[in-house]
Amino acid sequence: MKTKEAIFGCIQQLLVEVFELEKESIALESNIYKDLDFDSLDAVELAVRLGAETGISLQEEDLRAIRTIGDAVDILHQRINL
């Protein structure tokens, strides 16, 4: 999973399975709190699931920096390709 598209696909799949969101409602610019109705615990849950899928452990400061799906993709892409 080295490309941003692959990472986005993974996040999208998780959001559909775990949070029952509509695939069409998930975009890079979607704000996880305002558009996807996340709270801080949902963000932690997503981080844990992404950790299991990608092997990348997102810390508290990473979660604080993530506002949009695009932010999450960027951070994961950076870590995976280090």
Partner 1 sequence: MFGKLNLARQWRVVATGLCFLTFLCAGLVLTVTVLPLILLLSATPEQKERRVLTLIHYGFKFFMRYMQMLNPIGSFHVQGLDQLSSVKGSLFIANHPTLIDVVAIISCLPTCQCIVKKSLLQNVFFGGLLRTAGYIANDYAMQLMDDCARRLQAGRSLLIFPEGTRSPVDGLHPFSRGAAQIAIRTGAPVVPVVITCEPLTLGKGDPWYAVPVRPIDLTLRFLPPLEIPLAVTDKKGIPLQARALTRHIENFFLQELHATRTAGLGPC
* Residues in touch with partner 1 (CB under 8 A): 18-20, 39-42, 44-45, 60
Q: CB of residue 47 vs partner 1: minimum separation in angstroms? A: 10
Closer Cβ to partner 1, 72 or 77, answer by number: 72
The pair of structure tokens assigned to 47 is 């981080």
The pair phi, psi for residue 45, each rounded to 5°, is -60, -45
Closer Cβ to partner 1, 29 or 60, answer by number: 60
For residue 49, the surrounding DSSP H or E stretch is helix 40-54
The pair of structure tokens assigned to 40 is 């801080």
Closer Cβ to partner 1, 5 or 39, answer by number: 39
